[in-house]
């Protein structure tokens, strides 16, 4: 990067940190105005919109006005569930895109005083759309796929609110003040002109901007554009992380390989599996390399992710993975099934799909990804993160550098199988202290929750019915009360949510405990289909007992005190999302990996004086 480019990058960061502190007229702004007649490099602003969002509506005029200065404005739709008209409005806008009328339609829709179905029709007419085509396209599978693809790509890129924007690769969130937006656009144009002078006409300035500002999401950005980049940029080998091996890893190559390439894929985002395919082809030419594929489940793609994850316990998993990676088409539930069928393991694979431990395996991978900030498409070379795409320049040199670290580890007299672990143990976690347990908390009221076991540390699990994460935690913990080496007393409570305002799930746990059938009741509550319809009939069916016995247990269970105890604890302690795990009055904060959770619950912990008791003294 040239000195002037680096200065511009620093200035961009300063603008985002606090535009009000900048001088009203930067020195370079006047020069830009004087050169208005000169050719400028292409400048693209990508605007992430929810057409039923009041913030997007207010910000729209200043973004739309950018087109008058030669800026290309591209819309990406991120309909939010909080806005009832967002989905149909997004589909109408994409239908308008198919007619070349998208920006006109959005302009007309935002000119309406109130967004509703009638306003959409009036906006379509004002934009000159063919109403017959609109009627046929509005709910077509093609349009719905486009909207969902844009939404998923935007979420993978990190968009969480509308409006958000990318100004030639630099992110901007919220409703920007007009002066700040003008400055950012002017700066981006200045940078694009500099890049074109440095690298020649046709330089992909937008992608270069991503490399400068957000290299960790370069892959997601390419998916967002839905097109191949016109130029390749040089990737960068980033920090070292603890990308630890997991039981059942989907891998090809030997564990003693000098280079382990780990890629995180979301099978529902085709570009991530194509990246894995490219990585596998590179490894195929080098016998000293191993490729590990980690699966990240995404909303809407759970079935596909579960199908891939179920390969984890098949002896043939390496062969199945190779079949998938050798293909050139996006992965689908059927293509995964065919790959399994080709190895003769279909019957065992289908049984694994129904196993609760599949949820544990998926969640463990998601937890590790969260603690190393891995996104779909992220690649790690012996724990070093690769900030770029597989096809970007510099990957070969980066692999050589990672291999050197492996051979240095070998000099420490460890075996080839241990060298990888020796390298990554110096890596880092994000947001995870070495100690997985918090300071002691005042949770005495939770000891009254139904329990199983009775020896060892007292552990509390607060779960949410139907939740994948809660199922993972329960599957890990329910074996521990009978663990002869490190038993625990496991208390279980069900969190009260919008779908369960009366706390019926907690009543079911109390009834199950009174019948000494608590584990079976928890299993039933965590079934994704058991979120509603709880009552004596459900209990009788789940436990296969007489209706009269179930009704008596149900009527005698009173959840009010248990719910009040859990609400009180959550009010005074920042427990985070479910599931919530306390070990001997300490909140467990580490990743939901079975080995770490077992280690935490097996530690010799007394129940020390709580924070409230210490404060009272």
Interatomic CA distance for residues 274 and 265, integer angstroms? 9
Residue 31 pLDDT exceeds 60: no
- pLDDT per residue as tens digits for the range 182-221: 888 888 888 888 887 777 777 788 888 887 777 777 777 8
Residue 302 tokens read as 């759970």
Q: Return the number of other C-beta atoms located less than 10 Å from residue 67's C-beta.
A: 12
Q: How remote is the C-alpha of 216 from its chain's centroid? A: 14
User: In this predicted structure, what is the pLDDT of residue 615?
Assistant: 54
pLDDT score of 1: 38
Higher confidence at residue 293 or residue 479? 293
Token reading at 558:
């009173």
- The model carries a pTM of 0.58
Residue 369 vs residues 245, 366, 375: alpha-carbon distances, Å = 12, 5, 7
- Measured distance CA(93)–CA(95) in Å, rounded: 5
pLDDT of residue 460: 94
CATH number of 437-616: 3.40.30.10
Residues facing residue 262 across a β-bridge: 292, 380
Residue 256, classified by CB atoms within 10 Å of its CB into exposed (0-12), middle (13-18) or buried (19+), is middle
469 closest CA partner among 560, 356, 304, 305: 356
Give the count of alpha carbons within 13 A of 315, CB side only.
1
Output the six-digit token pair for 11. Answer: 């200035």
Residue 76's CB is within 10 A of a number of other CB atoms, namely: 24
The mean per-residue pLDDT over the stretch 494-514 comes to 89
In degrees, rounded to 5, the angle at the alpha carbon of residue 180 between the alpha carbons of residues 179 and 186 is 90
- The kind and range of the H/E element at 384 are strand 384-387
Return the pLDDT at 52.
Answer: 92
Percent of the chain with pLDDT over 70: 87
33 band by pLDDT with thresholds 50, 70 and 90 = very low
How far is the C-alpha of 89 from the C-alpha of 119, rounded, in Å?
10
CATH architecture of 238-424: 3-Layer(aba) Sandwich (3.40)
Radius of gyration of the chain (CA): 28
CA distances from 442 to 353, 449, 612 (A): 40, 15, 6
Question: Is 566 or 483 the better-scoring residue by pLDDT?
Answer: 566
pLDDT, tens only, 395-445: 888 898 888 888 888 888 778 878 888 888 888 877 655 447 888 888 989
* 263-305 tens-digit pLDDT: 998 887 777 888 888 888 887 767 788 899 988 876 656 677 7
The pLDDT of residue 536 is: 94
3-state secondary structure 326-367: HCCCCCCHHHHHHHHHCCCCHHHHHHHHCCCHHHHHHHHHHH
Q: What's the pLDDT score for residue 39?
A: 54
Beta-carbon count within 10 A of 37 CB: 6
> For residue 3, what pLDDT is reported?
36
Strand bridging mode 289-295 / 259-265: parallel
pLDDT at 21: 32
Contact 608, 585 (CB under 8 A): yes
Whose tokens are 């599996």? That residue is: 273
**What residue spans in the chain does CATH classification 3.40.30.10 cover?**
3-24+39-225, 238-424, 437-616
339-341-345 Cα angle (round to 5): 110
Q: In what order do the strands lie in the sheet with 586-588?
A: 437-440, 586-588, 580-583, 457-463, 488-494, 451-452
Which has more confidence, 581 or 324? 581
Higher pLDDT, 422 or 536: 536
Going by pLDDT thresholds of 50, 70 and 90, the confidence category of residue 506 is very high
228 φ, ψ to 5°?
A: -75, 140
Query: Rounded distance, CA 11 to CA 354, Å?
Result: 54
CATH class of 3-24+39-225: alpha beta
pLDDT band at 613 (very low <50, low <70, confident <90, very high): low
Q: Which two tokens stand for residue 476?
A: 């890990």
Q: Higher pLDDT residue, 14 or 521?
A: 521
Alpha-carbon torsion angle 397, 399, 404, 407, nearest 10: -160
Main-chain phi, psi angles of 171, to 5 degrees: -80, 150
The per-residue pLDDT of the chain, averaged, comes to 81
């Amino acid at each position: 990067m040239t000195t002037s480019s680096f200065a511009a990058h620093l200035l961009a960061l300063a603008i985002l940190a606090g535009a009000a502190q900048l001088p009203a007229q930067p020195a370079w702004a006047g020069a830009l105005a004087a050169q208005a007649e000169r050719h400028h490099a292409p400048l693209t602003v990508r605007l992430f919109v929810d057409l039923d969002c009041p913030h997007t509506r207010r910000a729209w005029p200043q973004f739309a006005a950018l087109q008058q200065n030669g800026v290309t404005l591209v819309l990406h739709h991120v309909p939010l569930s909080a806005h009832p008209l967002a989905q149909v409005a997004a589909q109408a806008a994409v239908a308008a895109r198919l007619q070349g009328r998208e920006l006109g339609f959005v302009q007309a829709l935002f000119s309406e005083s109130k967004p509703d179905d009638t306003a959409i029709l009036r906006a379509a007419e004002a934009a000159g759309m063919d109403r017959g085509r609109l009627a046929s396209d509005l709910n077509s599978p093609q349009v719905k796929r486009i909207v969902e693809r844009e939404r998923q790509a935007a979420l993978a890129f990190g968009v969480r609110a509308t409006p958000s924007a990318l100004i030639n690769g630099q992110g901007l969130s919220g409703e920007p003040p007009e002066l700040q937006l003008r400055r950012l656009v002017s700066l981006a144009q200045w940078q694009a002109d500099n890049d074109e002078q440095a690298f020649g006409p046709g330089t992909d300035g937008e992608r270069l901007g991503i490399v400068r500002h957000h290299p960790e999401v370069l892959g997601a950005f390419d998916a967002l554009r839905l097109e191949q980049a016109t130029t390749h940029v040089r990737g960068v080998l980033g920090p070292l992380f603890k990308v630890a091996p997991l039981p059942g890893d989907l891998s090809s190559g030997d564990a003693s390989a000098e280079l382990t390439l780990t890629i995180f894929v979301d099978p529902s985002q085709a570009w991530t599996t194509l990246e894995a395919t490219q990585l596998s082809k590179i490894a195929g030419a080098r016998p000293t390399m191993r490729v590990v594929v980690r699966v990240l489940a995404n909303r809407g793609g759970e079935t596909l992710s579960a199908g891939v994850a179920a390969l984890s316990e098949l002896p043939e998993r390496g062969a199945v993975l190779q079949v998938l990676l050798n293909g050139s088409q996006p992965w689908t539930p059927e293509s995964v099934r065919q790959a399994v069928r080709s190895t003769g393991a279909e019957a065992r694979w289908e049984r694994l799909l129904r196993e609760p431990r599949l949820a544990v395996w998926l969640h463990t991978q998601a937890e590790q990804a969260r603690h190393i900030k891995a996104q779909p498409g992220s690649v790690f070379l012996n724990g070093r993160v690769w900030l770029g795409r597989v096809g970007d320049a510099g990957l070969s040199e980066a692999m050589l550098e990672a291999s050197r670290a492996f051979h240095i580890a070998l000099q420490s007299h460890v075996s080839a199988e241990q060298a990888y672990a020796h390298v990554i143990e110096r890596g880092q976690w994000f947001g995870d202290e070495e100690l997985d347990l918090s300071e002691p908390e005042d949770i005495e009221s939770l000891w009254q929750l139904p329990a199983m076991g009775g020896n060892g540390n007292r552990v509390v699990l607060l779960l949410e019915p139907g939740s994948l994460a809660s199922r993972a935690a329960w599957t890990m913990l329910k074996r521990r009360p009978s663990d002869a080496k490190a038993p625990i007393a496991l208390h279980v409570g069900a969190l009260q949510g919008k779908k369960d305002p009366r706390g019926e799930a907690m009543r079911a746990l109390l009834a199950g405990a009174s019948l000494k059938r608590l584990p079976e009741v928890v299993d039933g509550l965590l079934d994704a289909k058991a979120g509603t319809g709880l009552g004596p009939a459900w209990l009788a069916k789940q436990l296969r007992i007489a209706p009269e016995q179930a009704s008596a247990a149900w009527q005698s269970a009173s959840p009010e005190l248990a719910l009040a105890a859990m609400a009180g604890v959550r009010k005074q302690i920042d427990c985070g999302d479910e599931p919530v795990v306390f070990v001997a009055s300490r909140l467990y904060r580490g990743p939901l990996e079975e080995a770490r959770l077992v280690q935490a619950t097996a530690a010799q912990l007394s129940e020390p004086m709580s924070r409230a008791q210490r404060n009272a003294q």
